[in-house]
Amino acid sequence: MIGRGPIAGVLAALLVALLPGPTRAATPVWESRVLANGVQVGSGEFLPGLRNRAGASGEVYLYETRVIAPNGQVSTAVDAVNDAVWTQRPYPTGFEGAPPLMLGTYTFEFLVEGQLVRREQRMVGITPFAPGCAGDEQISFNPANPVAGQPFTIVATSAAAPTNVGLTGPGAPQFLGSSPGGKGTTWTYRVTLTQPGQYSYSFTVDGALCTTATVTVGMNDAPPPDAFWQFDYPRVVRLSETSSIALGIHNRNGRAGQQTIMTVVVGVPGGAAYSTRVVIVADAWTTVRFPVNFPQAPPLQPGVYRVEWRTSAGTTLAADSIQVAS
């Protein structure tokens, strides 16, 4: 292992010069892990490691481990991956000048020949990792950016294979099973959330927290298949009575928590058109006013105005004309 100190660049260059030219048999498949040993504020250590799962006998790659502490301080070290064997180095003790462990999130980046190939994050709390936690646990979401009303899966993974695991968080996660994969073992759960927002989930072993992750659930733009749309607007508007047109829409079959985004396009006399977005919630009426709620729209003038209701995908849901008279 090569420490990153004042002469680290010289040592790395020297190692490159001294290493024999290895035969690289296949495209490398990089795997990383960050194990933990008694990690807490001021003590313990992380053990970041890298390997090439597709590495052949005699195949060698130089790589750099870059660790970013919660205060922004960066420490690096250069090592070599041989064959398909794990190479690892303790942090902070094996990184010259690295600060003692502190409260917050650490980022571990692995760069091979200057290219970032893997990134891991670990959190230091006020207590050590629970005995059942390996310290390398991770949570991922599929899809990574689900929308409200869409089922998605939550996958936890670790190199260890404990049996008393759990996932806590909103939506009552449904356990689908465990299988080999990821860092070694994966546990898969399914969730459906009806409201957009940010939601956090915690993976536990023997009831103790090992890791947490947050997913952002977006708004579902697609109109529900059973929607029954109704519209409300005047056929004729007189400028002597009002200076705007009220345009209303609702889904008579809308359910609690359901949200749909629509675009209203208004064509004015002369051919120009202006648009605005509306969010229809459940079965409530939503009303916008032209030109008040339409950016850069001009004041009303006598003539025929064309109104189109479009879905987020651009499909015209309904269209009609409104006569504006003086």
Assess if CATH 2.60.40.10 describes domain 138-217: yes
Question: Residue 19 above 70 pLDDT?
Answer: no
- For the stretch 243-301, pLDDT in tens is 999 999 999 998 877 778 889 999 999 999 999 999 888 899 999 999 999 999 999 99
- Quote the pLDDT of residue 10: 40
pLDDT at 5 over 50: no
Most confident residue range from 21-30, 219-228, 301-310: 301-310
Entry pTM: 0.41
Residue range 7-18, pLDDT digits in tens: 444 444 444 444
Ranges 6-10, 128-132, 241-245, most confident: 241-245
Given this model, what pLDDT does residue 14 score? 43
Residue 42 scores a pLDDT above 90 = no
Pick 77 or 14 by higher pLDDT: 77
pLDDT given at position 217: 87
Residues 221 and 148 sit within 8 Å (Cβ to Cβ): no
**Residue 35: which residues within 8 A CB-CB, separation 6 or more?**
46, 47, 49, 88, 134, 135, 136, 159
Listed by start position, the domains of the chain span 2-124, 138-217, 229-325
Stretch among 25-29, 128-132, 192-196, 197-201 having the lowest mean pLDDT: 128-132
Q: Which of 231, 240, 245, 236 is nearest to 280 (CA)?
A: 231
Q: What percent of the chain has pLDDT over 70?
A: 88
Beta bridge partners of 156: 139, 187
pLDDT at 17: 43
Apex 84 CA angle, 82 and 87, nearest 5? 55
Determine contact, residues 295/289, Cβ cutoff 8 Å: no
CATH topology for 2-124 is Immunoglobulin-like (2.60.40)
- How many Å apart are CA 168 and CA 202, to the nearest integer? 5
Residue with tokens 């917050």: 104
Which pLDDT tens digit goes with each residue over 136-191?
889 999 998 888 778 999 999 998 888 789 999 999 999 999 999 988 999 999 99
Model confidence at 90: pLDDT above 70: yes
What is the structure's pLDDT at 6? 41
- What is the average pLDDT value for the chain, to the nearest integer? 85
CATH topology identical between 2-124 and 138-217: yes
CATH architecture of 229-325: Sandwich (2.60)
pLDDT confidence bin for 130, thresholds 50/70/90: low
131: exposed, middle or buried (C-beta count within 10 Å: 0-12, 13-18, 19+)? exposed
Mean pLDDT confidence for 59-84: 92
